[in-house]
């Protein structure tokens, strides 16, 4: 904004009443300059914001429009549309017996993954890896980032091996051979726990990085001053670190809520949404309806609900976390 104001100033000075030798010449020269400025502003706009806008239009706005249109059609497995109809919504609100259960599973999945792992555990990782010597901290962060760097399928296969109900599974090898306990079948008996753990272990690494960088940006002298004042480690965390993490935590909460609402990659790979519908979160439910039997229009209608839920969650959290303040222009300008 400040830059724009500075750029706009010369054009005002060159306007007809700006004290030029000839008013007409000044007017012509001024309008030329203004036109050039406008052109440059447009060029800058197209150059710097254009690619982002094209990206937004193609991959964010267009899919929503396509989804909206499809939801009101009867598109089936042949991809043919024969009529516009409200039947998908009638079915969704009056006859779909699995819809509410799926929303419930989504709520548990999002809240648990977010609350336990993506924020809390991420925070714990950031605090512990910044409290230990730098090299050691960097090593542990790198270890936690490994799952994010490996292909999803490999990560999912590892989880399948961990929770394999046979004695071959890693968890059961430990339970049976080390602890002498009975083997567990987590995938069938506690499938929701499995997908929360699998998503949480990979999700925590993003928060860890963001929180670590926020902790690192706290001026060093504050820690020294606190120590000199006799503050203990917990007091430092409470009075110096936590206040500095307010915005990163708010941002991570909003970002991860939306991300978890629509992601089902690991769920599909590890449980396939099962057993039965036990881990079919809403996004996977829409996918299964659309692609397991080719009910594309119904899948689109279900996705529309997800879009609405996403928008409500984003706006609600935005307000709750007072994110507007984070994006306000700074009141102090450093020249």
Partner 1 sequence: MNWKLAAVVSLGGALTAAAFPAIAEDVVVKLWSRADRSGPLRAGNIVAAADTLNKMLAAAGSDKRVKIELNETNAKGYDDDSLDLLKAFAVDKGPDIFVLAHEWTGAFAEAGYAWNLEEHIKKNPELYGDIIGPLWQSVTYKGARYGVPQDSEVRMFFLNNDKLRKLGMSDQDIAALPAKVDSGQFTANDLCDLAGQAVEKGVAKYGILHRPNSGPDFQMLMEAFGVDPYDKAAAKLQVSKAALRSFYTWIKYCMDKKALFANNTSMSWDAIEQASFSGDEAAMLFHGVWRVTDQMKAFNMKGRDDYFRKYTWINMPAGKKGGKPTNLSHPIAYAVSAKSKNRDLAAYIVGLASQPYLNLQHAVTTNHTPINYGEQSMPEIVDKGWALVAATPMLKYATFMPNHPKIGQYNAIMFKGIQGVETGRLNAQAATDFVIDELQNELGKDVVIRN
Q: How many residues bind to partner 1 according to rule CB under 8 A?
A: 24
Tell me: does residue 295 bind partner 1 (CB under 8 A): yes
Of the candidate residues 177, 292, 308, 311, the single one contacting partner 1 (CB under 8 A): 292
Find out whether 146 and 202 touch, Cβ atoms under 8 Å. Answer: no
CB of 288 to partner 1, least distance (A): 10
CA distance 13 to 255: 46
Tell me: does residue 293 bind partner 1 (CB under 8 A): yes
Question: What are phi and psi for residue 278, nearest 5 degrees?
Answer: -60, -30
Burial letters 294-317, b for 16+ CB under 10 A, else e: ebbbbbbbbbbbbbebeeeebeeb
The interface with partner 1 within residues 160-189 (CB under 8 A) comprises 165, 185, 187-188
Nearer to partner 1, 11 or 188 (CB): 188
**Site stretch for partner 1 (CB under 8 A), options 63-71, 271-279, 310-318, 319-327:** 271-279
Find out whether 263 and 85 touch, Cβ atoms under 8 Å. Answer: no
Nearer to partner 1, 31 or 152 (CB): 152
CA distance 161 to 168: 8
Nearer to partner 1, 134 or 168 (CB): 168
Task: Compose the 52-91 pattern: x for residues touching partner 1 by CB under 8 A, - for all others.
Answer: -------------------------xxxx----------x
Of the candidate residues 106, 271, 283, 303, the single one contacting partner 1 (CB under 8 A): 271
What is the maximum alpha-carbon separation in the chain? 99
Find out whether 257 and 114 touch, Cβ atoms under 8 Å. Answer: yes
CA distance 66 to 57: 12
CB of 165 to partner 1, least distance (A): 6
Helix/strand/coil for 165: coil
Of the candidate residues 275, 308, 312, 325, the single one contacting partner 1 (CB under 8 A): 275
Place of tokens 């079915």: 91
Nearer to partner 1, 98 or 141 (CB): 98
Summarize as ranges the residues that interact with partner 1 (CB under 8 A): 77-80, 91, 95-97, 165, 185, 187-188, 271-272, 274-278, 291-295
């Amino acid at each position: 904004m400040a830059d724009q104001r500075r750029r706009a100033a010369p054009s005002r000075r060159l306007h007809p009443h700006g004290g030029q030798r000839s008013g007409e010449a000044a007017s012509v020269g001024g309008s030329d300059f203004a036109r050039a400025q406008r052109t440059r502003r447009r060029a800058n706009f197209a150059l710097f914001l254009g690619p982002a806008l094209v990206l937004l239009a193609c991959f964010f706005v267009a899919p929503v429009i396509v989804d909206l249109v499809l939801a009101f059609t009867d598109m089936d497995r042949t991809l043919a549309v024969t009529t516009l109809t409200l039947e998908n919504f009638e079915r969704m609100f009056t006859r779909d017996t699995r819809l509410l259960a799926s929303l419930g599973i989504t709520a548990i999945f999002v809240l648990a993954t977010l609350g336990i792992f993506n924020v809390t555990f991420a925070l714990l990782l950031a605090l512990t890896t910044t409290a230990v010597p730098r090299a050691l901290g960097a090593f542990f962060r790198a270890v936690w980032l490994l799952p994010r760097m490996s292909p999803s399928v490999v990560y999912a296969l590892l989880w399948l091996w961990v929770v394999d109900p046979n004695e071959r599974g890693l968890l059961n090898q430990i339970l049976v051979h080390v602890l002498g306990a009975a083997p567990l079948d987590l995938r069938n008996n506690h499938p929701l726990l499995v997908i929360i753990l699998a998503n949480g272990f990979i999700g925590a690494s993003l928060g860890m990085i963001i929180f670590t960088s926020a902790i690192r940006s706290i001026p060093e002298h504050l820690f020294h001053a606190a120590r000199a004042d006799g503050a203990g480690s917990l007091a430092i965390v409470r009075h110096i670190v936590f206040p500095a993490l307010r915005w990163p935590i708010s941002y991570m909460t909003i970002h991860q809520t939306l991300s978890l609402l629509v992601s089902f990659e690991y769920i599909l790979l590890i449980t396939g949404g099962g057993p039965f519908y036990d881990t079919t979160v809403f996004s996977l439910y829409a996918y299964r309806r659309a692609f397991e039997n080719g009910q594309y229009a119904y899948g689109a209608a279900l996705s529309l609900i997800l879009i609405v839920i996403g928008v409500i969650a984003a706006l609600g959290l935005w307000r709750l976390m007072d994110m507007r303040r984070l994006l306000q222009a700074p009141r102090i300008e450093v020249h």
